Structure 1
Amino acid sequence: MRVLVTRAERAGQKTAKRLLGLGFEAAMLPLAKPVHAPENALKALSQPHSALIVTSTEAIAALAAIKDKLHPHFSTPVFAVGSATAKAAGVLGFENVRAANGDGAALASLLHTQHQTDNAPLLYLAGYPRAKTLERALDALGMAYRICEIYRMGTIAYQVHDIARHLDDKPVDAVLLYSAETAKRFCALPFNASTLELFASARFLCLSQNVADHMTPPFNTRLFAALHPDEESLLSLI
């Protein structure tokens, strides 16, 4: 089975390696490229905060560039959206990391039940663009927080021939989609009749129903959403 990975290059390579280990053939078509702004994190960390929030391993990758300056903050509580992000934070050096089960609402609930604020706001080290699920949930709970954008995901511009080249002009059986933004980027690609044919029988495997909801014709059939918003559940759909 041939599976298309649409994640950014660094994360996509990890997924491709995992697919190969499971006996699948992996093709890569990264749809976005991260631009890190770790200096924003340093400014935000210099202001009072009671805990850190991270919702992506890309945020941890952005922080890695300033690891030597993070030592005073490694004891600060970190609340991560899921196990992969939590693991990355621990590897970087954070000592007190807790993980939710993979989405913003669950993360807000975890913060509400397990974190006692000390009159300082939470610090959300975020990316752009992003879903606002976490922010809406924190607002509903009345929890104070600040947002610091430490990376942006820039769309990679492809021509029709680029798509065919990345796929080696061979059909794919499944497409992995990890976010609503990725779904929108995929549907906006410049397909023609021959490149559309490469996806004629592909299943579109989405990290959540929210991701699936952003798929548009002709790709909004053969949609499958993971039961849980994590890669383990997503790959189980293949």
Structure 2
Amino acid sequence: MRVLVTRAEEAGRKTAKRLADLGHSAVLLPLASPVHQPDQALAALAKGHSALAFTSAEACRALLPLRETLVAHQATPVFCVGKKTADAAEKLGFKHIITAEGDGAVLAARVSDEPIDWRSPLLYLAGQPRARGFEKGLDAHAIPFCVADAYRMETVCYDQQGLRERLQDIPVDAVLIYSAETARRFMALPLDVLDGAVFGRSRFLCLSAKVAEALAPGWRERAEIASAPDEASLFTLL
């Protein structure tokens, strides 16, 4: 199958390799690029906190320049969504990593299960834009927290020529879409320049129902939703 990968460049290349290993042909079309903000994370880490939380591996990558500073925080409880984020946190040197499989709301429930003294807040090292499920979940469980934006995702823009060069007017069998923001960025592309044959029969494989809802009507009808919000489940739809 010819599969369009819409993730940021670094993550997209890893996904493309996994697809190739499965016998698929991957086309990279990164729709956003991460801009790391380690200074904001550093300022937040200097304040008192009882635990840390990451909902993306990109936030962990944003902290790579702070490895020496993070030595003082290695024993701090660190909550992560999914194995990939947990693996990225481990590479930073954290020793006490607690993982929840699912989304931000599931992670918030996992945080509430831990016997932590919340006299100091949880520090959520996050990115922009983001869903607010984790923050809403923390509020629901009355867990004090503060947020530092460790990175932001900037839209990668394509003009008509750039889009055609990437896709080469060859039909795409499936489009992998990982977030609602990615879906909105995809719909904002100059898709009208393409022959209808490129996406005319494409399936839009989405990480969740919320992601599918961000597609435009007509396109949304061809959306399929992964059984769990992770790449392995997304691949099972291929």
- The bucket for the TM-score relative to the shorter chain is over 0.9
Does residue 43 of structure 2 align to residue 43 of structure 1?
A: yes
For residue 25 of structure 1, report the CA deviation from its aligned partner: 0.5
* 1:105 partner SS: helix
Cα distance, 1:37–1:193 mapped onto 2, change above 3 Å: closer
Where does residue 215 of structure 1 map in the other structure? 215
For residue 197 of structure 1, report the CA deviation from its aligned partner: 2.9
Where does residue 142 of structure 1 map in the other structure? 142
Amino acid across the alignment from 1:18 = R
Q: Tell me the distance in 2 between the aligned counterparts of 1:155 and 1:104.
A: 23
Q: Indicate if the aligned counterparts of 2:70 and 2:92 stay in contact, CA closer than 8 A.
A: no
Where does residue 124 of structure 1 map in the other structure? 124
Q: Indicate if the aligned counterparts of 1:16 and 1:26 stay in contact, CA closer than 8 A.
A: yes
* 1:49 partner SS: coil
How many positions carry a matched residue from both structures? 238
Q: Indicate if the aligned counterparts of 1:7 and 1:32 stay in contact, CA closer than 8 A.
A: yes
* 1:215 partner SS: coil
Where does residue 231 of structure 2 map in the other structure? 231
1:120-171: CA deviation from partner (whole Å, max 9, x where unpaired): 0000001000001111111111110000001000011111221111122211
For residue 195 of structure 1, report the CA deviation from its aligned partner: 4.6
Counterparts in 2 of 1:106-185, with a 5 A limit?
106-185=106-185
Where does residue 100 of structure 2 map in the other structure? 100
Counterparts in 2 of 1:6-45, with a 5 A limit?
6-45=6-45
Cα distance, 1:218–1:80 mapped onto 2, change above 3 Å: same
Cα distance, 1:168–1:193 mapped onto 2, change above 3 Å: closer
For residue 93 of structure 1, report the CA deviation from its aligned partner: 1.3
Q: Tell me the distance in 1 between the aligned counterparts of 2:52 and 2:45.
A: 9
Q: Tell me the distance in 2 between the aligned counterparts of 1:84 and 1:236.
A: 18
Q: Tell me the distance in 2 between the aligned counterparts of 1:196 and 1:188.
A: 16
Q: Tell me the distance in 1 between the aligned counterparts of 2:129 and 2:162.
A: 24
Moved over 4 A (4+): none
Q: Tell me the distance in 1 between the aligned counterparts of 2:193 and 2:43.
A: 49
Cα distance, 1:148–1:173 mapped onto 2, change above 3 Å: same
Q: Tell me the distance in 2 between the aligned counterparts of 1:92 and 1:166.
A: 35
Q: Tell me the distance in 1 between the aligned counterparts of 2:145 and 2:196.
A: 44
TM-score for the superposition, normalised by structure 2: 0.97
For residue 59 of structure 1, report the CA deviation from its aligned partner: 0.2
Does residue 88 of structure 2 align to residue 83 of structure 1?
A: no
Q: Indicate if the aligned counterparts of 1:187 and 1:215 stay in contact, CA closer than 8 A.
A: yes
For residue 83 of structure 1, report the CA deviation from its aligned partner: 1.2
For residue 118 of structure 1, report the CA deviation from its aligned partner: 3.9
TM-score for the superposition, normalised by structure 1: 0.97
Amino acid across the alignment from 2:73 = H
Where does residue 64 of structure 2 map in the other structure? 64
Q: Tell me the distance in 2 between the aligned counterparts of 1:194 and 1:131.
A: 31
For residue 35 of structure 1, report the CA deviation from its aligned partner: 0.5
* 1:149 partner SS: strand
1:203-238: CA deviation from partner (whole Å, max 9, x where unpaired): 000011111111113421211011100111011111
For residue 73 of structure 1, report the CA deviation from its aligned partner: 1.1
Q: Tell me the distance in 2 between the aligned counterparts of 1:32 and 1:174.
A: 19
Comparing 45-54 and 185-194, the one that deviates more: 185-194
Q: Which runs of 5+ in 2 are unaligned?
A: none
